[in-house]
Homo-oligomer: A and B are copies of this chain.
């Protein structure tokens, strides 16, 4: 039951994928520990430069001989609305003053530049012979898919609706992560609108499994063997766990971030677009609460992400969790601070015990 065509394809013993959390969480130690314990470690490369990505891939290879993967953010066009940027900037000035952040002029990334970085990242996947590559916020071009498949790279898309999962299958990708509304971090919707893509995994897995033939990977709120068995029963072939790995010893998440999750209640997460311009789920704090009423006019990703960067950074370095993005799924009370080995063994043992 815990082995299937997807675990065979990915060459892993356990149907568990570590979610590719971007922003320093997926350290090489984390990724390698996951792969060394029979699951699939993933580098969250969304914010890595090509050089950083190549370095980390090589570092992980030093730490494990097992398969691991890389996740890339697919750039998409974004509107630049000057009024919204000015408004956001003046709202954010309050926090800059409070945190004593220099009001330096941020340089916004432009689409051309983002595409260039992304294309270089894809090239590195090929050159470094990474075995698995997943994509968020969109899908790779047919040209890239052909190139990557020729090199034997296993391609995984991210969907929040049946429509998106079908699109991913039609492109010839090998598997699809279905991201339920429970999931922490950024929403992966790229065809469906934000609200349409807010579907709980209990609903999403069987509906997608009925409509596509590629293996389904369930993401959102899954933290232990109970969630693993549930996801497999619903038609998934593996689970992708984020928050559960985020609080692990090997994760690079800020100590305050781990602590915020470990102390949170089930009802303490919120959706916000105020950190990055894209909707994402995290533990609510002063920043998400105060910015709530301005959500309609927040500049698009990655503009808002650039605008809040120094605030998030200063908040973290001042050990103040109130202005950091504390990404978390909806099951924080099931999180533990343990080693990756302990988490994976506990999950598999519980799943085996729970088999009906």
**Taking beta carbons and an 8 Å cutoff, which residues of A are in contact with B?**
1, 161-163, 180-182, 192, 195-204, 206-208, 210-211, 220-224, 226-227, 229-235, 265-268, 270, 329-331, 333-334, 354-356
Tally of this chain's copies: 2
Which of B195, B210, B354 contacts A270 (CB under 8 A)? Answer: B195
Most buried by B among A223, A227, A270: A227
B-chain residues with CB within 8 Å of residue A330 when the two chains form the complex? 199-200, 203-204
B-chain residues with CB within 8 Å of residue A329 when the two chains form the complex? 203
Which of B202, B208, B270 contacts A221 (CB under 8 A)? Answer: B202
Residue of B nearest to A160 (CB): B267
Given A207-B333, A224-B206, check contact A197 B356 (CB 8 Å): no
Sampled A-B contacts (28; CB under 8 Å): A161-B266, A161-B267, A162-B266, A180-B200, A180-B202, A181-B198, A181-B200, A182-B199, A182-B202, A182-B203, A199-B267, A200-B200, A200-B330, A202-B221, A202-B222, A202-B227, A203-B266, A204-B266, A206-B226, A206-B331, A206-B334, A207-B333, A208-B266, A210-B333, A230-B231, A232-B356, A233-B354, A233-B356
- Say whether B226 contacts A333, CB under 8 Å: no
Most buried by B among A198, A210, A220, A270: A198
B-chain residues with CB within 8 Å of residue A210 when the two chains form the complex? 333-334
Contacts A180-B202, A182-B199, A207-B334 known; 6 new A-B pairs at CB < 8 A? A1-B356, A162-B266, A162-B267, A200-B202, A202-B221, A230-B231
B-chain residues with CB within 8 Å of residue A233 when the two chains form the complex? 226, 229-230, 233, 354, 356
Rounded to whole Å, the gap between the CB of A192 and the closest CB of chain B is 5
Rounded to whole Å, the gap between the CB of A273 and the closest CB of chain B is 14
- Say whether A206 contacts B192, CB under 8 Å: no
B-chain residues with CB within 8 Å of residue A265 when the two chains form the complex? 161-163
What is the CA–CA distance of A224 and B202 in the complex, to the nearest angstrom? Answer: 11
- Say whether A200 contacts B223, CB under 8 Å: no
Most buried by B among A192, A267, A329, A330: A267
- Say whether B229 contacts A206, CB under 8 Å: no
What is the CA–CA distance of A315 and B202 in the complex, to the nearest angstrom? Answer: 32
Rounded to whole Å, the gap between the CB of A229 and the closest CB of chain B is 4
What is the CA–CA distance of A161 and B333 in the complex, to the nearest angstrom? Answer: 12
